[in-house]
Chain A
Amino acid sequence: MQQEINMKLAYWMYAGPAHIGTLRVASSFKNVHAIMHAPLGDDYFNVMRSMLERERDFTPVTASIVDRHVLARGSQEKVVENILRKDKEERPDLIILTPTCTSSILQEDLQNFVDRAAMESESDVVLADVNHYRVNELQAADRTLEQVVRFYLERERRRESFHVTRTEQPSANIIGIFTLGFHNQHDCRELKRLLNDLGITINEVIPEGGSVTNLKKLPQAWFNLVPYREVGLMTATYLEKEFGMPFVNITPMGLVDTAAFIREVGAIVQAERRKQDLPVGVGEEENGWIEKYIDQQTRFVSQAAWFSRSIDCQNLTGKKAVVFGDGTHAASITKILAREMGIHISCAGTYCKQDADWFREQVDGLCDEILITDDHTQVGDMIARIEPAAIFGTQMERHIGKRLDIPCGVISAPVHIQNFPLGYRPFLGYEGTNQIADLIYNSFTLGMEDHLLEIFGGHDTKEVITKSLSTDARFTWAADGVKELSKIPGFVRGKVKRNTEKFARENQITQITVEVMYAAKEAAGG
């Protein structure tokens, strides 16, 4: 009897639709253009990228519009023409045809369009291989990145001239930094700095700022780094299988995990040296060097270890917190709060349902309960029930916190423009630990202050005596005037009232009606 309920009532989602993931990967590469097979209005991605990332360049995404005409007759030449047109206009290295939910149901043979366009086009053309109804934004991004890498490496392999030579010095690819990622740009800079400290050069960073023509160089690196759980693992796994490249997928977030990350990197470099019969590099002859580096950084470069010992942090001991976000950030922040700051995690959760087992394993033993859901109302109910002293979550949790009067630090996408700071704010590496410590501490103190204010009745008496000059009682506000005034948003109401009364005084009007209000607005100029 229990039929699976499919249609869902929702107005908020944590992870976007699949095509967003494909577009994020495509537009992160240099000189790659995505063409969406979509109805008018589905190119909202361009707005997000332009606004959130404050991107100076035109987002290399256009739509091949599906309209009523296409619905009746099929896309026919339209998609092919649009691909070829873009090829001529912008000469991209690669054009990715991106299906959307609409084109999924139309079931047109997009692969056929791609094959036809590829014959005439100077650019390479591929069809993003993602099923709109099976995967979300993050899964699609992971898949598309792997698809693009595979496309270029397999083509390279078919060439006789293709030989993989590893770089002389230890080097790494960073995989999974991309546009609209939570603090990705800053994280990338921090990772590069960390690797530089360890004497490791960066081979390629993909997809952000990468060039598809350089993808053939990927196997030259000694190993791959996948800083985030959600995007890059498929690519790293492919490169491991096909080219024997090891990869590190520990997220270097927090002191403990950053140390674990460095040790793993050290071990891989040593193993590679042995494998290649290379002499041990300067300074890395023994683990001692790495351990010394970790120790120095932990105790003196990062302030987080000291911070945990300081009196400030002592006050946080045992405070209740809730963590929710993508798998990577929610797991890492949970570990930092519990292991490095002594905070009591009542609940840790993620919306990355596809990776639930991994998440459980990561936070096992560090929290009272685990919540795996992409339904924001469940998260809201959980927070309301637990009443933590602070929340660490996405923008949605920030708003839940506002409603419940609980402070919230934003630690994961989905995010708003304020989470794309111009200043340097990594979450990864040693500088990341400082940033996170600030974020956590500020969330809690604000909460404490608020609480104390509540107890002692606030800084000020809440009734502020109006400073306006217009409180004299020569005016009466007619009922319609009062009603109209009440419709004006609170933050300008006072100004409107003052201006209207000023106008009324100047014109010897004592009865203020709605007409008077608008006459005043016109005279005063808003």
Chain B
Amino acid sequence: MSTAISEPLTFECETGNYHTFCPISCVAWLYQKIEDSFFLVVGTKTCGYFLQNALGVMIFAEPRYAMAELEEGDISAQLNDYKELKRLCLQIKQDRNPSVIVWIGTCTTEIIKMDLEGMAPRLESEIGIPIVVARANGLDYAFTQGEDTVLAAMAHRCPTKQLPASNDDDQVNRHSLLQTIFKLGPNKPASSSKRATVDHPPLVLFGSLPSSVATQLSLELKKQGITVSGWLPAQRYTDLPVLNEGVYVCGVNPFLSRTATTLMRRRKCKLIGAPFPIGADGTRAWVEKICSVLGVVPQGLEEREGLIWKGLEEYLALVRGKSVFFMGDNLLEVSLARFLIRCGMIVYEIGIPYMDRRFQAAELALLERTCHEMDVPIPRIVEKPDNYHQVQRIRELQPDLAITGMAHANPLEARGISTKWSVEFTFAQIHGFTNSRDILELVTRPLRRNQSLQGLGWTSLVKSNL
């Protein structure tokens, strides 16, 4: 085992026969994130059925998304796509009056070569609502990459110049005024590490996070005197951040490589390539990297990270020395594996749908470093994995935990392999120092469940051990 330690990262590629969510699933969290949006998925019954079942209960909450369901007439081009889409978009405008309609192109629109990008600008000017087109289809992308296609498309819509003094500025001023007053007051706020704001070029963060997590990350940077000028996406479409040549951008999720490329090439922004703020180690590395690029010496970060780790001790005791196998389906795998190795776990395999080695360079370097520092072998990274082969490997390795999709979770559990459903990492709050605990809460759940069921002797619940 120790021989592997000095080996560099290696990447394998299998058949791509793996289970993951269709990228159109990104509408589930994006319509909630962008409050004034409406997502129109242009696809077939198959797409609709997936959304309906995958999003379960959300469907009943009158979501701001719908299917433009293509039928045989649409496919054989007997109908005028433009007229059809116009009719639906007018209906959406009338019913919901959104600030933006996002068209999600699917496999079907790709195959029949429906020219969504061509139709959108015409329709946009006709109905007076911006139409953003994202091709989040299963021919090209996996699961979370759907968000990447939407954000890349939205990056084009960000303004280049700050609008002349708006109410927002007033609010900001009033807010800082209030803060000054509070500082003068007798009661010191909790975080004593507050610094004066540093003068630095504008910084825009990209990646869709629940607003409370976005607030936490912004605050983390504020502690270093760094101001976040905006987020892509913002809470509202009408609040998209200003992007122009001098702006620095930094990603918060590992699956945003197209968005990063678009920001660099099309909007001339400068990309800060950092590990992702997932886990206490990742968050610290992320803040440090931003600080170093913006010329700020980070303060108190080491202590902060130390405190977080101390607070996690009860979980760490559970995971130390345990082994993990990532089957791979959401592109968060490298960051999560890196964090878990730092927690003392051994990772056998990191399956991942797609590996952008440039966008994830800093994360991969941190993974490598973490493996060295924790003195564990570097896990194999398997791109486009083959689930069938992976199951064979899981049987052989008998990991303490397999992080996998729902399709495999119950069958593996029935064979005595503990599993954690990978999609939960996409929907849980896992970013920043504060949420390191939530990651471990998820990871240890099967381990804790095992503890409470221990001694019952029912680990294998299938008749033959096939």
Residues of A within 8 A of B (CB): 3-13, 16-17, 19-20, 38-44, 46-48, 50-51, 54-59, 62-63, 65-68, 71, 82, 89, 100-102, 105-106, 132-134, 136, 396, 399, 402, 414, 416, 478-480, 484, 487-488, 504, 507-511, 513-516, 518-523, 525-526
On whether A51 and B189 interact (CB within 8 A), knowing A11-B65, A56-B414, the answer reads no
Is the beta-carbon distance between A9 and B66 smaller than 8 angstroms?
yes
CA distance A416 to B55 in the complex (A): 12
Contact with A along B297-312 (1 / 0, CB 8 A): 0000000000110010
Q: Which residues of B contact A17 (CB under 8 A)?
A: 44-46, 49
**In-complex Cβ contact of B189 among A12, A48, A513 (8 A):** A513
Asked if B189 contacts A522 (CB within 8 A), the reply is no
Task: Report the Cα distance A181→B20, complex, angstroms.
Answer: 24
> What's the Cα separation between A159 and B284 when bound, in Å?
73
Interface pairs A-B: 3 shortest CB-CB: A41-B22, A39-B138, A46-B407
Cα A487 to Cα B81 with chains together (Å): 40
A201 to chain B, nearest CB (A): 25
Q: A101-B44, A509-B189, A515-B190 are in contact. Are A51 and B410 (CB under 8 A)?
A: yes
Q: Identify which of A4, A48, A522, A526 gathers the most chain B CB atoms within 10 Å of its CB.
A: A522
Identify which of B20, B54, B66, B190 contacts A10 (C-beta below 8 A). Answer: B66
A-contacting residues of B (Cβ < 8 Å)? 16-23, 44-46, 48-54, 56, 59-60, 63, 65-75, 79, 81, 84-85, 87-88, 91-92, 107-108, 110-112, 137-143, 175, 178, 182, 185, 187-191, 211-212, 215-216, 219, 307-308, 311, 388, 391, 405-411, 414, 433-434, 437-438, 441, 461-462
Complexed CA–CA distance, A319 and B84 (Å): 43
Residue of B nearest to A508 (CB): B187
Q: Is the CB of A487 within 8 A of B211?
A: yes
From known contacts A57-B462, A511-B182, infer whether A518 and B52 are also in contact, taking CB-CB under 8 Å: no
Q: Are B20 and A40 in contact (CB under 8 A)?
A: yes
Of B17, B51, B56, B65, the most chain A CB neighbours within 10 A belong to B17
* Bound CA span A400–B20, Å: 31
Cα distance A117–B70 when bound, in Å?
A: 32
| CA–CA, A106 and B49, complex, Å | 20
Contacts A10-B67, A515-B189, A522-B434 hold; do A4 and B73 have CB atoms under 8 A apart? yes
Write the chain B residue with the least CB distance to A41.
B22
Q: Which chain B residue shows the least CB distance to A479? A: B178
Q: Are A515 and B462 in contact (CB under 8 A)?
A: no
Q: Decide: B143 and A41 in contact? CB cutoff 8 A.
A: yes
- A526 contacts B441, C-beta separation under 8 Å: yes
* Interface contact A516-B190, CB-CB below 8 Å: yes
Q: Which residues of B sit under 8 angstroms from A102, Cβ to Cβ?
A: 46, 107-108, 111
Contacts A44-B53, A51-B410 given; indicate if A9 touches B91 (C-beta within 8 A). Answer: yes
What is the CA–CA distance of A59 and B411 in the complex, to the nearest angstrom? 9
CA gap between A44 and B187 in the complex, in Å? 55
Point out the residues of chain B lying under 8 angstroms from A478, CB to CB.
178, 182
Rounded to whole Å, the gap between the CB of B381 and the closest CB of chain A is 19
| B53, B388, B461 — most chain A CB neighbours (10 Å) | B53
A13-B49, A63-B17, A487-B212 known; A7 vs B111 contact (CB < 8 Å)? no
Residues of B within 8 A of A41 (CB): 20-23, 50, 138, 142-143
A16 lies within 8 A of B17 (CB): no
Structural contact, A7 and B79, CB atoms closer than 8 A:
yes
For A525, list chain B residues within 8 Å (CB).
311, 437
Residue of A nearest to B22 (CB): A41
Is B111 within 8 A of A57, CB to CB? no
> Hey, which chain A residues are within 8 Å of B138, CB to CB?
38-42
Instruction: Give Cα distance in the complex from A487 to B210, angstroms.
Output: 10
* Chain A hits for B72, CB < 8 A: 6, 133-134
A50–B407 CB distance below 8 A:
yes
What A residues does B143 contact at CB under 8 A?
A: 41
A491 nearest CB across to chain B (Å): 15
Report whether A9 and B49 are in contact in the complex, using a CB–CB cutoff of 8 Å: no
Hey, which chain B residues are within 8 Å of A13, CB to CB? 45, 48-49, 52
A9 and B44 contacting across the interface, CB-CB below 8 Å: no
* A62 (CB) vs chain B CBs: closest residue: B17
A268 vs chain B, min Cβ distance (A): 37
- In Å, the complex CA distance between A525 and B440 comes to 11
Which residues of chain B come closer than 8 Å to A515, judged between CB atoms?
A: 189-191, 219
Q: How far is the CA of A507 from the CA of B60 in the complex (A)?
A: 44
Residues of B within 8 A of A521 (CB): 434
Instruction: Report yes or no: B17 in contact with A46, Cβ–Cβ below 8 A.
Output: no
Residues of B within 8 A of A106 (CB): 111
- Within the complex, the shortest CB–CB distance from B455 to chain A, in Å, comes to 22
Least Cβ distance of B304 to chain A in Å? Answer: 9
Task: Tell me whether A12 and B52 are in contact in the complex, defined as CB-CB below 8 angstroms, given that A47-B406, A522-B311 are known contacts.
Answer: yes
- Please determine whether A58 and B434 come into contact, CB atoms closer than 8 angstroms: no
Across-interface contacts of A39 in B (CB, < 8 A): 22, 107, 137-139
A523 to B312, CA, bound (A): 10
Please give the distance in Å from B427's CB to the nearest CB on chain A: 13
In contact, B108 and A10 (Cβ under 8 angstroms): no
Q: Is the beta-carbon distance between A105 and B75 smaller than 8 angstroms?
A: yes
Compute how far the CA of A305 lies from the CA of B315 in the bound complex, rounded to whole angstroms: 57
Q: Please tell me if the beta carbons of B462 and A11 are within 8 angstroms of each other in the complex.
A: no
Contact yes or no, A11 B67, CB < 8 A: yes
Chain B residues within an 8 Å CB radius of A101: 44-46, 107-108
Looking across the interface, which residue of chain B has its beta carbon closest to that of A512?
A: B190
A-B contact pairs, 29 of them (CB 8 A): A6-B74, A7-B85, A9-B67, A9-B91, A11-B67, A13-B52, A16-B49, A39-B137, A39-B138, A42-B46, A43-B407, A44-B50, A46-B407, A50-B410, A58-B411, A59-B407, A65-B16, A67-B140, A68-B139, A89-B388, A101-B45, A101-B108, A105-B111, A132-B45, A416-B56, A509-B187, A511-B185, A515-B190, A519-B190
